[in-house]
Chains A and B, each alone.
Chain A
Amino acid sequence: MFGSLFKSQAQKHQNLAQGQVVPEPGRCVQCGICSYSCPAGIDVRHHALLGMPVNDSRCLTCGECILRCPRGVLRFEQSELTSLLTEDLH
């Protein structure tokens, strides 16, 4: 039972360490599923259209947009800032 608890915590730490939601604009078809599924109300589609990583402080790195995108547009990627932080932690 505790195994799965630790696993979801570990995933969350991994997500946070992994940094930002980064889009591949050439794949986005503007369907809107990403923005619709964002619990923080971020217009992820707008970021995807412009090829901008989601730098919004409201982002929870929950990964819903990445999971639900039907086209594989979004992924987590380490930004410079978060890679510095993980270095500090180790």
Chain B
Amino acid sequence: MIVGSGAAGLSAAEVIRKHEPKAGIQIITEDPYGYYSRPGLAYYLAKEVPLEALYPYTEGYYRKLDLHFTKEHVARINPAEHVLHLAGGRIMPYDRLLIATGATASRPDTPGINLEGVVTLDSLEDTLHIVKLARHSSSAVVIGGGITALELVEGFTALGVKTHYFLRGDRYWNAVLDETESRMVEERLKEDGVIVHYNIRATEILGRKNKVEGVRTDDGKVTPCQLVGVAIGIRPHKELAQNSGLIVRRGVLVNDHQMTSDPDIFSAGDVAQVIDPDHPDGLLESLWNPAQLQGTVAGLNMAGITTPLCRPVAVNVTRLAGLVTTIIGQVGGAEDKGKDDRDTNSIMRGDSEEWREVANAVVAETHGGHNRLRLYIGERTIAGALVMGDQGLSRPLQNLIERQINIRELRPRLLEPGAPITELINNFWNSIPRLRHPVNSYAPKVS
């Protein structure tokens, strides 16, 4: 039994079916649209791909795998009796259960936050709602930070809505980007016609007949708008686990076999907080491929094949105001790191707590036009990297960091002032042929 039809839930279902041809696999979901590419929603908003393309699988595929979907809310779990209670009253028994309920966008408690026209971006339903509202909107305000805030800003702009982006601090995403990178993004936003406001806080969302009319800010001004996008962070959907007596913290706590505090209940994806040797207090992230990997590992363990999670380094390739950006490993080392990100209260979608970790490392950076490279160089390995603009080093750096390739010989040259680090890394990468054919780090290592 799998609760949730996202990346983790489907990956678990697929691998269970592979090893258990006769098992009954039931996927219970609250998403009326089933399984689709959630990262693709931003591309749909930006008009790069049609709706149908977001579905990787056909009905025929689900029939072939004998996967059954039930669209309903799960009220609670009774772990002792191995049953689920659905909201409609039905009781479903299970042998092994996976909680893959994902996360939802948080909302601040700003007055007016529940007016019609205030939107978040979690699901396909949200996306279609945004497209509908945008048709009758001439201007919008976005509050929040991280990747999702810009998906909303760029999405509204692509839909023809004049957009104001309110930053509470003096730069964008200070938790992960450094000042140079923030400015690169902000410049691109302004070139796209977005009005960026700094050091401003929304105090009230104003409405008439329950619809958004404007946003009042702490400087006393009111910005008229019909649409307000909110991206202040996501919260793991841990209530089901919590109400059922499982141990939760920021998310549902699991060990490195994706097992919760109950041996027959597993958890994976955005809702899960994984405890591993590098993160004894547990790590939260909202990344598509790691969710698939966690789902696969959970599924293997549920099918009786004991498999530990071999967690790869946190990587994402995203677009910030059109600037392609790869973020790998530990990059949280900016000078003003002491200040928390004022625009968000937790991670966003496409984000990882690992990125904010400060590595015991030295920075090497280079910048030319619209291209930027920032590396965190430890004693023997590269601990983190951010690649903005030209992506030539995106894959090589992912390999060097993930596989902890020893760069001790290269290190002194990288740290020389004015070093041509792009060239140095490129040459290093090309000099080691075996690196060019990497192991698929997303395939779980089955014991």
Interface residue ranges, A against B (CB under 8 Å): 24-33, 35-36, 45, 49, 51, 68, 70-72, 75
Contacts and interface: CB of A to CB of B under 8 A. Distances in A.
Given A29-B37, A33-B53, A49-B56, 17 more contacts: A26-B289, A26-B440, A26-B441, A26-B442, A27-B289, A27-B315, A27-B317, A29-B39, A30-B37, A31-B39, A32-B40, A32-B56, A33-B43, A35-B53, A36-B50, A70-B48, A72-B326
A68 B442 CA distance: 23
> Max chain B CB contacts within 10 Å: which of A33, A68, A71, A75?
A71
B197 interface: no
Contacts of A27: 289, 315, 317
A41 to B, nearest CB: 13
Contact of B395 (A24, A29, A31): A24
Contacts of B312: 26
B53 A25 contact: no
A70 B288 contact: no
Contacts of B203: none
A32 B395 contact: no
Contact of B440 (A32, A35, A36, A51): A51
A71 B440 contact: no
Interface string B43-54: 100001110011
B346 to A, nearest CB: 21
Contacts of A32: 37, 40, 49, 53-56
9 contacts: A25-B442, A29-B40, A30-B37, A32-B49, A32-B53, A32-B56, A33-B49, A70-B43, A72-B395
Contacts of A51: 440
A16 B424 CA distance: 29
A32 B36 CA distance: 10
A78 to B, nearest CB: 11
Given A26-B441, A36-B53, A71-B317, A31 B43 contact: yes
B342 interface: no
B440 A72 contact: no
B49 A31 contact: yes
B319 interface: yes
B400 to A, nearest CB: 15
Contacts of B48: 33, 68, 70
Contacts of A70: 43, 48, 317, 319, 324
A76 B141 CA distance: 41
Contacts of A36: 49-50, 53
Contacts of A45: 56
A33 B48 CA distance: 7
A42 B442 CA distance: 24
A71 B40 CA distance: 11
Nearest to A32: B53
A32 B42 CA distance: 12
A21 to B, nearest CB: 15
A54 B324 CA distance: 24
B172 to A, nearest CB: 20
Contacts of B395: 24, 72, 75
B345 interface: no
A25 B37 contact: no
Contacts of A72: 317, 324, 326, 391, 394-395
Nearest to A46: B56
A30 B441 CA distance: 18
Given A36-B49, A36-B53, A72-B324, A30 B40 contact: yes
A38 to B, nearest CB: 11
A38 B330 CA distance: 36
A51 B53 CA distance: 19
Nearest to A27: B317
A24 B312 CA distance: 14
Contacts of A49: 56
Contact of B56 (A25, A26, A30, A71): A30
Contact of A25 (B43, B315, B324, B440): B440
A48 to B, nearest CB: 10
B394 A31 contact: no
Contacts of B394: 72
A30 B326 CA distance: 18
Nearest to A26: B442
A74 to B, nearest CB: 11
Nearest to A71: B317
Contacts of A25: 440, 442
A19 to B, nearest CB: 14
A25 B289 CA distance: 9
A44 to B, nearest CB: 11
A35 to B, nearest CB: 7
A25 B440 CA distance: 8
